[in-house]
Amino acid sequence: MREVQIINRVSGSGTFDQSVTVPYDNDDSVSDIIGRVCLVLFLDFDPRMFLVTDTGVETAGEDQAHEYFRHGMHLNLRSRTVTKQRWAGVIVALIVGILSVILTITLFSVKHTPKIVEAVVIDAGSSHTSALLYHWSSDLISGTGLVQEMEEIYLDTPVTSFAGDPGNLTTFMQDLINDMKDWDSTSSDIPIYVGATAGMRILQESEPEQVDEILEVIERVIKNSRFEVGDVEILSGSDESLFSWLSVNVLSGTILGSPKGLSGNEQIETAGALDMGGGSLEVAFNCVDGCDQTEALGAFNQNFTIWSSKSSCYGLKEAMGRFMASAIFQAFQGTDNLTDSLIPNPCVNKHFNQLKDTWLSDFPTEKSDIFANNCTHILDPEFLNWLDSMPDDFEFHFDDSYDEMKCDQILEPFTNFTTCQEIFGQDCLNPMEFLMPNDIFYGISSFYYNFRSPLNLEESSDYDTVMNKIKAVCQDPQSCDTCSKTDCFEVSYIFKVLTDGLSFNEDNFGNLKFVDQIEGSQVSWTLGYATVRSQEIGVPQGEGLISTSIFAIWLGFGVALTLLGCLGLYVFQRKMRNLTLNKTAKEGILN
């Protein structure tokens, strides 16, 4: 017999790379030679073993193998079987796949534990500054949080009063934030959002640098506090309108209480919102069709088309300044010189001399207080020349005596677009633009505090009742014990805006509801703002710890690994069965 040198190249074996010499004769098959190598090297025989040259050429049958043997070439023993490491990979894949499926189903089935999300919204208004703490559950309702007011700090001082005075503004904001330490809050990383409204919008028209400075100071103070900094911004009038509308409809339940799954022809009956602050008037309602310049608003998985309008200079504080400017201008047209004249103020009940302890305590009388911004800028060049000749501290003198006709005459420019344009040239309300639907409208802010309260109205009142109560407040010395000097002007002006400006009349005046709270919660644009912010934080109600999309991806991955592992085990079982049979057969042949 002859001998041939074989090198073990079967990976994973204990004799890997070991060379062995085995005998052979011309009658031996390749399997016979491989079997002898396995016996010598203590390898488990596998019919998938084969011989290959150093150049990687596999022996193709006994004749070719013997040809290599005769030339003294050594061959390499290899195997097509999968190594133990590969089988371990199959087992690992199967285990990981099964665990992935179990874990994914568990995470999707187990609902997350809701947490309370908190945020502070600061209303930097034209006549006040207020900070409100809101909270909602992270378990959102149709993608939106059900926001609740928890705490409030209200200050009569507006941030605009610190224009050009960053030092005192810093102290003011630090004191405000320090007062929040007594709040019963649960979070340590509460964000503060600041929305500046009409007062800052008006100031920005004349003093943009001062506005930038105010915003920078506010943001810096928040950064140096324990709170997180949210957005510090000036809200547009449209945004303020949208937030007020949302606040009204969330609290009144018209959104949450509406049926789901409405068809395209069905409409949710929502309420409109009227918001009058110190600087501007905002109107918003859900437009069914035929409205221009609408904005889309989504909340609680519902979409609304909102028509909104803001009227700068129509907030009560700015309106009082414009009223005084109109009275002065009308008196100037009659005398050309007001230095020593008494100017009629026909919207005052002379029997009421007490002053309020709030921001609208008395009529302004000094030139610098009345003609302070664009709201009271009068176009008439002759009047402007005379006004420029007067010192800033010049004080006008007024004759306070109610006259219904003259009062209405001075209020006329507020709702007569043409007259307003002739006198002021800008910021004029055009009644033709207000195509008000026959909806319920909630009047908030000044509509409640400066109209309903002094008139002692019910939440809703008819046109005639309101008219009679206005006359009593303006004429009757015994009409009320709490009325103040400015009440007659306030109720007369607001009624003028509602009727001549917004077209509420004898037929639909009862659609108005004047409120400060709905279901025990304060109505303010800040609640609507927080509601929109809630959509950015939390998860939809009823979802598990992972979303549906992540569940589908992870489950598919786990199932694929499991199937791959099962297939690998099946192949492994078949190979092991064949290996056992062939090994038994080979040992029988060798014996």
- pLDDT at position 62, please? 75
pLDDT exceeds cutoff 90 at 520:
no
Q: pLDDT tens, 49-68?
A: 888 888 777 776 777 777 77
- Nearest to 140, CA basis, from 549, 536, 518: 536
Angle at 82 between CA 78 and CA 85, to 5 degrees: 115
- pLDDT at position 57, please? 79
- pLDDT at position 265, please? 42
pLDDT exceeds cutoff 80 at 337:
no
Q: For residues 18 and 147, what is the distance between their CA atoms, to the nearest angstrom? A: 77
- The domain total for the chain is 3
Final residue belonging to a domain, choices 33, 59, 81: 81
Give the contacts of 587 (CB within 8 A, at least 6 positions apart): 45
Choice among 149, 219, 240, 490 that is catalytic? 240
253 in the same domain as 146? yes
Least confident span in 141-150, 513-522, 561-570: 561-570
- pLDDT at position 214, please? 97
DSSP per-residue letters across 415-468: H-HHHHHHHT-SS---GGG----S--EEEEEHHIIIIIHHHT--SS--HHHHHH
Q: Compare 587 and 281 and report the one with higher pLDDT.
A: 281
122 in the same domain as 234? yes
Q: Compare 142 and 553 and report the one with higher pLDDT.
A: 142
- Nearest to 12, CA basis, from 75, 92, 85, 89: 85
For residue 350, being part of any structural domain is answered with yes
For residue 92, being part of any structural domain is answered with no
Structural domain span for residue 30: 2-81
Q: For residues 43 and 23, what is the distance between their CA atoms, to the nearest angstrom? A: 17
Q: pLDDT tens, 271-283?
A: 999 999 999 999 9
For residue 72, being part of any structural domain is answered with yes
186 in the same domain as 255? yes
DSSP per-residue letters across 88-148: HHHHHHHHHHHHHHHHHHHHHHSBP---EEEEEEEEE-SS-EEEEEEEEESEEBTTB---E
Least confident span in 145-149, 358-362, 430-434, 548-552: 548-552
For residue 155, being part of any structural domain is answered with yes
Q: pLDDT tens, 463-489?
A: 999 999 999 999 887 767 778 889 999
- pLDDT at position 590, please? 43
Is residue 475 packed enough to be buried (19+ CB in 10 Å), middle (13-18) or exposed (0-12)?
middle
pLDDT exceeds cutoff 70 at 257:
no
- Nearest to 451, CA basis, from 509, 405, 409, 369: 509
Q: Model confidence at 289, in pLDDT bands (50, 70, 90)?
A: confident
Query: Would residue 62 show up in a list of annotated catalytic residues for this protein?
Result: no
pLDDT exceeds cutoff 50 at 586:
no
pLDDT exceeds cutoff 50 at 589:
no
Q: For residues 492 and 183, what is the distance between their CA atoms, to the nearest angstrom? A: 40
349 in the same domain as 202? no
334 in the same domain as 261? no
| Helix (H), strand (E) at residue 330 | helix 316-335
331 in the same domain as 225? no
| Total Cβ atoms within 10 A of residue 241 | 28
For residue 466, being part of any structural domain is answered with no
260 in the same domain as 148? yes
- pLDDT at position 585, please? 45
> What's the mean pLDDT in 311-336?
93
User: How high does pLDDT run on average in the chain?
Assistant: 84
136 in the same domain as 35? no
For residue 217, being part of any structural domain is answered with yes
180 in the same domain as 76? no
- pLDDT at position 317, please? 93
266 in the same domain as 186? yes
For residue 507, being part of any structural domain is answered with no
Q: For residues 271 and 439, what is the distance between their CA atoms, to the nearest angstrom? A: 6
Least confident span in 188-202, 251-265, 451-465, 469-483: 251-265
What's the predicted TM-score (pTM) here? 0.72
124 in the same domain as 178? yes
Q: For residues 198 and 184, what is the distance between their CA atoms, to the nearest angstrom? A: 31
- pLDDT at position 48, please? 78
> What's the mean pLDDT in 180-209?
88
For residue 494, being part of any structural domain is answered with no
Q: For residues 325 and 365, what is the distance between their CA atoms, to the nearest angstrom? A: 10
Q: Please, are residues 69 and 532 in contact by the beta-carbon 8 Å criterion? A: no
